[in-house]
Structure 1
């Protein structure tokens, strides 16, 4: 997050996406907004943790988010639909976990892509922005 955070903040600010600051939680919220995904699928406030947690891993303490990705792989859990693109970006773009095939995002049609097309477009736009 430290390495890519500045570029992400500037990119999201140029796209007029929410209030993006250097805090990882704000950057995650900006990514969720960019992909038009639901924050409640991924982020829970410490004060508002429900009695029954979601069936998929979620981020309660943002400082521990790398552990969440370990859980997805150890437990072989698919990313929740409402936050799949954001999680796929964090996995590939920030943590450098790039499997040769497959994706933790659920299929939306008949074709299964290694990387969802909407994420590829985002990565391309982010790269263009970085190199401009």
Structure 2
């Protein structure tokens, strides 16, 4: 996942700079500030993930929560979602210095050193425990699956099915749109 963030992340950051959205500009500003404070690559990985979620209009908290650096494991477990979630400790998402992974409202790993490692564990938990992607963050997780991890099935999806709806069997259209937009920026350079 680290090499994917390095190689493909550069293209996503380049694409993000060309976008007129206020959300993307805010993410860029936060990234510049965070890079001055940290040098471990976490700010870039977080910025990439936040940009992807912003493009899909998905809330960052569904994948990555940020808590105060002094928060304890017991305090955090009181308010965790049932779906897998990455928790960062710090002033902001991009300035988090340590991470935890929770599944089913329970912290299962509290010694994760980088965001990319935590995101990889988060993603793997969906596959290892055969958990469907929640609708709140389905496009982001599918994008990670296809672009960073390289799992590209021709048919089928891990997206939760709404009641009385057919199972989603194609690639999410928003994911295809983002992949196309990033490829277009990369091609023009």
1:111–1:68 CA distance, 2 compared to 1 (3 A): closer
Structure with the higher strand share, 1 or 2? 2
What does the per-residue CA deviation read over 1:25-45, in whole Å, with 9 as the maximum and x for residues that have no partner?
121111111110011111111
- Give the alignment's TM-score, normalised by structure 2: 0.63
Flag the structure with larger Rg: 2
Partner of 2:151: 97
* 8 A Cα contact 2:159 2:168, kept in partner: no
CA distance, structure 2, for counterparts of residue 73 and residue 94 of structure 1:
15
Partner of 1:56: 83
Find runs of 4+ consecutive structure 1 residues off by over 6 angstroms: none
Secondary structure at the residue paired with 1:113? coil
What does the per-residue CA deviation read over 1:19-67, in whole Å, with 9 as the maximum and x for residues that have no partner?
2345211211111111100111111114363514211111222232111
Flag structure 1 segments of 5+ consecutive residues without an equivalent.
none
CA distance, structure 2, for counterparts of residue 52 and residue 102 of structure 1:
32
Partner of 1:73: 127
Flag structure 2 segments of 5+ consecutive residues without an equivalent.
32-42, 88-98, 100-114
Structure 2 residue 44 is matched with structure 1 residue 23: yes
> Which runs of structure 2 are paired with 1:89-128 in the superposition (5 Å)?
89-107=143-161, 110=166, 112-128=168-184
CA drift at 1:100: 3.4
* 8 A Cα contact 2:62 2:85, kept in partner: yes
1:131–1:107 CA distance, 2 compared to 1 (3 A): farther
Secondary structure at the residue paired with 2:27? coil
RMSD of equivalent CA atoms: 2.0
CA drift at 1:112: 2.0
Q: Give aligned pairs, total.
A: 132
